[in-house]
Structure 1
Amino acid sequence: MNANDLIKDIIDKKELIQLVLSNKRNKELEYNKINIRPIQIKDNFMYQFTYVYSNKEIHKNLEPEETKDEIIEHINGNFKQAQMYCVNNDYQILVNKKLKANVLKKKATKKPIDISHNRKKKYILEEDVPCDFLQYLGVMNEKGNVKKQKRDKFRQLNRFLEMVKDVESNFDKNKKIKIIDFGCGKSYLTFALYYYLVKIAKFNVEIVGLDLKKDVIEYCNKVAKELNYENLSFQIGNISDFNEFTEVDMVVTLHACDIATDMALFKAISWNSKVILSVPCCQHELNTQIKNDLMNPMLKHGIIKERFSSLATDSIRANLLEIIGYKTQILEFIETEHTPKNLLIRAVKSKDKVDKSLVSEYKEFKNFLNASPYLEKLLVENDVISID
């Protein structure tokens, strides 16, 4: 069998594991070699070509018929060698100066691999596994299949639980963990948090969801009761007025608007919370304060100033938390195509004393912006920190 027929036969039978075209003959080619492998994209069986340049790689996916033509074209003019790793045998194709191809057959050295390009992601809340609260809230059906219109919500819940899982070691399994979710809304994340900590991680928890909407709170309490989620309750109220607990292990605040986020952070600090998870929203406070002539080329554009103000606000919050002893990260919560409000502040208490070494850096930054942050005001007025 000649080289062209061999290539066609291998592609037709789907026996190719990998093919490498090397030893470039055509010096005008910008790439130096090509790696080819089969790939499954949804329901389409294709071949991925990786063109290897000196400083980059470019990928292209081709149908089987296009693949045969592309490989044969390269063997008949562009490359002197092709190494094919197949299911039953390996083949080496060597092309001489007269463009005659010699085929060497060898024993197979590679095993077939998983060619799925869309490998099923391993979630904390698994797909195709029925979950009571997800079924009740309409995210999945009775068989555990995630509904198409709820897939973004499903990913968001799992992303949130991944962040919780990363910090669960800060909780003591020998005591009841007290958690407040401020502005819980319809409480998808609150129910997910309870389900994960109680049913998967096996913690003893008491979770209270707070919201100002009476109908939302009544509905959430109804769901918790019907699911038999003990120690999960919902109350009408504001976090600043909640005083049932003297200490809270974790405070969750998602999309609290403007300085409501600062109020929630201050309350968490007052409770000496071990963990804070906060997704801020509508940061308007600094937008009217920021002023610096050096930054005028940027700040004179309204949308740029708005976005910068949001980033500066979250940076200030994170720095203040670090000053008072929290190890703080700002993470991407969900993809930006779903919402621009995609940053989450995750703070874990690491020490009890104020880190004065960070104060001067913070002061220079906020003075540079001409900013008077509300969270700083709350901390100073309550003698938590001194910014002098």
Structure 2
Amino acid sequence: MTEQWQQEIINWIGKGELAQATLSQPRRKDGTAAPKTIIRPIELKNGLHYQFEYHFANKVTHDNITENQASERLIELLQENYRQALLKTPDADVQLLFNKKGKAAVLKKPPTAGGRPASLLHNRQKQRVLAEGKAAPFLVELGIMTPEGLVHAKKQDKYRQINRFLEMVTDVLAYLPTDRELTIVDFGCGKSYLTFALYHLLAVEQQRKIKIIGLDLKADVIAFCSELAGKLGYDKLTFLVGDIAQYEELQAADMVVTLHACDTATDAALAKAVNWGASVIMSVPCCQHELFKQVSNDVLSPLLSQGLLKERFSALATDAARGTLLEVLGYKVQMLEFVDPEHTPKNLLIRAVRTEQPVVSTSKWEQYKQFRQFLNITPSLERMLADRWPAESE
């Protein structure tokens, strides 16, 4: 005889209302059951499935089950392997607690899932530039996706980061020229997840004429990226060993990307972008140490006397100065959250787009000068672009 909790699982899956189930506390300690199993809906080429994600101590495995078989598998796991489960639906979060005889206690709380998961999944995948279920060759080679287009469990954060970046790029593509080949520079490219993603979006999917240059100080990383670009057939993607401040190979660039360039290396990249007349700048700063040593103000002493608070304030002040200086030069600037702060505190992205006829803003310059004087700071970006400020600058 089917118990009430079993029938509810059958109904939730049948209606596409199970957003996620987390199974825990294995009945046996012999290792036959994963310490934790997570089930979620996933859209594949041949329709809606439920992905069973088994979390063992040293590995994570997946099994994609058809919608018709998912309820049977889930009920079987609960009856045989687990003492506890949390199931999220549009109407409630349901906790199942099993005693030694296998009898279930059912506890229901207000829902946190919010909506029908299958519908949400379809909408989310349409919005993502790199949809799960459709393998992107560079993601497969970088170990983020399987050849079948499934994202590895341990790479979910990186997958979301890449998509978030591409969404931010897509929002400003209208500012890039369309009548000629684009030149894009990625300073401090590292392993180049985002560089490859950018090339895939623009050159492969949108068939734009582009060339991208990735620059990094680490020769071994550049060798790896160059080899991968060749393997993928990305013939307009070049990787070079070099320092941002010393790079003088270009006279102009349409877009400049810099991800986690340390301290004033971010300023060097921004200065290069401005001098090249870049239409789009995407910068995620890192390790803003410079102003920590400079900032001082008696009024702010309760804040600045605490090292941790001063460090965070100095980082914010650094990026505020950078953004305002770009606005002085006619850029439209937005400060955006790049990734969930749960994963990294270095999650602020400066996105700047150049207006058609940039005009130096004296009002923004005056605003910046007051800010600078109030904090007793002299940011590197101001010095690097000294010849561009209004004549009355000090």
- TM interval, short-chain normalised: 0.7 to 0.9
Q: Residues 223 and 293 (structure 1 numbering): CA distance in 2 closer, same or farther, change over 3 Å?
A: same
The one of 53, 61, 70 equivalent to 2:93 is 61
Q: Residues 291 and 45 (structure 1 numbering): CA distance in 2 closer, same or farther, change over 3 Å?
A: closer
Tell me, yes or no, if structure 1 residue 131 matches structure 2 residue 156: no
Tell me, yes or no, if structure 1 residue 276 matches structure 2 residue 262: no
The residue that corresponds to 2:56 in the other structure is none
Q: Give the secondary structure class of the aligned counterpart of 1:173.
A: coil
Q: Give the secondary structure class of the aligned counterpart of 1:138.
A: coil
The residue that corresponds to 2:224 in the other structure is 219
The residue that corresponds to 1:357 in the other structure is 363
Tell me, yes or no, if structure 1 residue 154 matches structure 2 residue 176: no
Give the number of aligned pairs: 306
Tell me, yes or no, if structure 1 residue 287 matches structure 2 residue 292: yes
The residue that corresponds to 2:117 in the other structure is 116
Tell me, yes or no, if structure 1 residue 41 matches structure 2 residue 19: yes
The within-5 A match list for 1:158-237 is 158-237=163-242
Q: Residues 290 and 45 (structure 1 numbering): CA distance in 2 closer, same or farther, change over 3 Å?
A: closer
Q: Give the secondary structure class of the aligned counterpart of 2:129.
A: coil
1:245-302: CA deviations, max 9, x gaps?
Answer: 2110000011111011111100111101101100000001111111111111111111
Task: Report the CA distance between 1:40 and its aligned residue.
Answer: 2.3
Q: Residues 336 and 46 (structure 1 numbering): CA distance in 2 closer, same or farther, change over 3 Å?
A: closer
- Range that drifts further, 291-300 or 307-316: 291-300
Q: What is the percent sequence identity of the aligned residues? A: 45
Q: Residues 41 and 243 (structure 1 numbering): CA distance in 2 closer, same or farther, change over 3 Å?
A: same
Q: Give the secondary structure class of the aligned counterpart of 1:240.
A: coil
- Extract unaligned runs of 5+ from structure 1: 1-7, 16-36, 49-59, 71-112
What TM-score do you get using the length of structure 2 for normalisation?
Answer: 0.72
Q: Give the secondary structure class of the aligned counterpart of 2:366.
A: helix
Task: Report the CA distance between 1:324 and its aligned residue.
Answer: 0.5
Equivalent position amino acid for 1:148 in 2? A
Q: Give the secondary structure class of the aligned counterpart of 2:172.
A: helix
The residue that corresponds to 1:367 in the other structure is 373
Q: Tell me, in whole angstroms, the C-alpha distance in 2 between the residues paired with 1:147 and 1:136.
A: 12
1:2-22: CA deviations, max 9, x gaps?
Answer: xxxxxx9x989959xxxxxxx
Q: Is the 8 A contact 2:90 2:115 kept in 1?
A: no
Equivalent position amino acid for 2:331 in 1? Y
Q: Who wins on radius of gyration, i.e. which is larger?
A: 1
Task: Report the CA distance between 1:238 and its aligned residue.
Answer: 1.6
Q: Is the 8 A contact 1:47 1:67 kept in 2?
A: no
Q: Give the secondary structure class of the aligned counterpart of 1:234.
A: strand
Q: Tell me, in whole angstroms, the C-alpha distance in 2 between the residues paired with 1:47 and 1:213.
A: 49
Q: Residues 294 and 175 (structure 1 numbering): CA distance in 2 closer, same or farther, change over 3 Å?
A: same
Q: Residues 360 and 137 (structure 1 numbering): CA distance in 2 closer, same or farther, change over 3 Å?
A: same
The residue that corresponds to 1:379 in the other structure is 385
Q: Give the secondary structure class of the aligned counterpart of 2:248.
A: coil
Task: Report the CA distance between 1:178 and its aligned residue.
Answer: 0.1
Q: Tell me, in whole angstroms, the C-alpha distance in 2 between the residues paired with 1:383 and 1:241.
A: 20
Equivalent position amino acid for 2:19 in 1? I
Q: Is the 8 A contact 1:38 1:46 kept in 2?
A: no
Q: Is the 8 A contact 1:212 1:238 kept in 2?
A: yes
Q: Tell me, in whole angstroms, the C-alpha distance in 1 between the residues paired with 2:106 and 2:152.
A: 36
Task: Report the CA distance between 1:244 and its aligned residue.
Answer: 2.5
Q: Residues 370 and 272 (structure 1 numbering): CA distance in 2 closer, same or farther, change over 3 Å?
A: same
Q: Give the secondary structure class of the aligned counterpart of 1:262.
A: helix
The residue that corresponds to 1:301 in the other structure is 306
The within-5 A match list for 1:9-24 is none
1:22-64: CA deviations, max 9, x gaps?
Answer: xxxxxxxxxxxxxxx995231437562xxxxxxxxxxx63469
